[in-house]
C-alpha cells in the first residue's frame, strides 16, 4: 500500500505513518549505535545495561531517549559531565531520515520494511568500519538473510529496464524476475570488482579494495538488481572521493594513511540509489 492510497482516507494518515517511521528509525538508530560501539570495544551485544563510556555509570531511561536526551543534556553525561560524542545523535537522525525516506518511496509494504532493516545493517557496519576499517561477516550474512526472506515481495520496478524486466517478459513471473535480477546484480558488480582489485593488487603490490567492501557490494546488489547496482557503484565512488578528501588530514596522521573505510560511502550511495535510482535510470533510458 502506497501513502497515496491512505491519503484518500485522510491527508493526516500519510503524515502519521511518516512520523511513526521517523520515531522508530531514531530508536533503532540509537540501538544500532550502541550495538556497533559494543562490537568495537569487545563487549557483549546481548548482555549488560547501557552505560557511559567514560564513567561506566548505568544509564536510565531518561538518558536514552533518542535525540532529545542528547539535546537536553547538551551533549554531556548526566553523571560525570563528560562530553558525549555527537555521533550518537547523528546516527539517530540519519536512521530516522532513512526510515522516513523508505516509507515515502516504497509505502507501507514488506519491501519498505526489508529496506529499513537493510538500513540498520548499513548503519551498523558503517559505524564499525569507521572505527576498525573492517566490515564484519555478520553484517553481510544478516543482509543476505533479509533479502532471501523478503525478495518475493519486491516486485519489478516498471520505471527501469534491466535484467528484471527482461526476465519478466520471458517468464511472466515477477518473483523469478526479481530473484534473477538480484543475483545478476550481486555477482556481476562484486565479481568484476573482485577481479579488478585482484589484478590491481598484483600490479601495485598492496591491497586496493577490502574484501568486506566487495561483500557489501554483493549484498546491496541483491536488493538493487543489475542496473541500479551499476549506478550505486558510480555514486559510491563519488561519495568515497569526497569523503577521502574531507578526511585526508586525519588519515595522514593515522598509523596507515592508505587505509580508507569505504563502507560508509557504499551505505550512503545505496540510500541515494534506493530513493532516486529508479527515476534516474528511467530518465537515462528515456534518452535512447
Residues 100, 163, single domain; the answer is: no
Please count the structural domains in the chain. Answer: 2
Q: How confident is the model at residue 102 (pLDDT cuts 50, 70, 90)?
A: very high
Comparison of pLDDT for 73 and 285, the residue scoring more: 73
Comparison of pLDDT for 63 and 128, the residue scoring more: 128
Classify residue 128: in a domain, yes or no. no
Classify residue 262: in a domain, yes or no. yes
Residues 140, 275, single domain; the answer is: yes
Classify residue 114: in a domain, yes or no. no
Classify residue 124: in a domain, yes or no. no
Classify residue 165: in a domain, yes or no. yes
Record the cell numbers describing residue 135, joined without a space: 566490515
pLDDT of residue 258: 52
pLDDT of residue 196: 84
Classify residue 21: in a domain, yes or no. yes
DSSP codes of every residue in 137-196 = HHHHHHHHHHHHHHGGGT---TT--SHHHHHHHHH--HHHHHHHHHHHHHHHHHHHHHHH
Percentage of the residues of the chain whose pLDDT score is greater than 90 = 45
Q: How confident is the model at residue 7 (pLDDT cuts 50, 70, 90)?
A: confident
Tens digit of each residue's pLDDT (9 = 90 or more) over 189-199: 999 988 888 88
Percentage of the residues of the chain whose pLDDT score is greater than 70 = 90
What residues make up the domain containing 262?
A: 133-288
Tens digit of each residue's pLDDT (9 = 90 or more) over 53-77: 778 778 777 777 888 888 888 888 8
Tens digit of each residue's pLDDT (9 = 90 or more) over 135-168: 999 999 999 999 999 999 998 775 566 677 777 7
pLDDT of residue 2: 78
Amino acid at each position: 500500500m502506497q501513502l497515496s492510497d491512505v491519503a484518500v482516507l485522510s491527508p493526516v494518515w500519510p503524515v502519521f505513518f511518516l512520523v511513526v517511521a521517523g520515531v522508530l528509525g531514531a530508536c533503532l538508530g540509537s540501538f544500532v549505535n550502541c550495538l556497533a560501539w559494543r562490537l568495537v570495544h569487545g563487549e557483549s551485544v546481548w548482555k549488560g545495561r547501557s552505560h557511559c563510556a567514560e564513567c561506566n555509570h548505568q544509564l536510565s531511561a531518561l538518558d536514552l531517549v533518542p535525540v532529545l536526551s542528547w539535546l537536553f543534556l547538551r551533549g554531556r553525561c548526566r553523571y560525570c559531565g563528560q562530553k558525549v560524542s555527537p555521533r550518537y545523535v547523528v546516527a539517530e537522525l540519519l536512521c530516522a531520515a532513512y526510515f522516513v525516506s523508505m516509507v515515502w518511496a516504497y509505502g507501507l509494504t514488506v519491501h519498505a520494511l526489508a529496506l529499513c532493516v537493510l538500513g540498520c545493517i548499513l548503519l551498523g557496519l558503517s559505524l564499525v568500519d569507521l572505527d576498525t576499517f573492517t566490515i564484519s561477516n555478520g553484517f553481510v550474512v544478516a543482509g543476505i538473510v533479509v533479502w532471501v526472506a523478503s525478495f518475493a515481495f519486491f516486485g519489478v520496478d516498471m520505471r527501469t529496464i534491466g535484467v528484471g524486466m527482461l526476465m519478466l517478459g520471458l517468464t511472466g513471473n515477477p518473483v523469478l524476475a526479481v530473484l534473477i535480477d538480484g543475483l545478476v546484480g550481486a555477482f556481476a558488480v562484486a565479481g568484476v570488482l573482485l577481479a579488478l582489485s585482484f589484478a590491481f593488487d598484483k600490479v601495485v603490490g598492496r591491497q586496493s579494495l577490502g574484501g568486506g567492501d566487495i561483500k557489501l557490494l554483493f549484498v546491496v546488489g541483491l536488493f538493487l538488481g543489475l542496473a541500479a547496482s551499476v549506478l550505486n557503484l558510480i555514486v559510491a565512488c563519488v561519495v568515497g572521493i569526497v569523503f577521502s578528501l574531507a578526511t585526508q588530514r586525519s588519515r595522514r596522521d593515522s598509523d596507515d594513511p592508505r587505509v580508507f573505510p569505504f563502507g560508509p560511502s557504499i551505505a550512503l550511495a545505496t540510500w541515494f540509489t534506493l530513493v532516486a535510482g529508479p527515476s534516474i535510470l528511467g530518465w537515462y533510458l528515456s534518452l535512447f
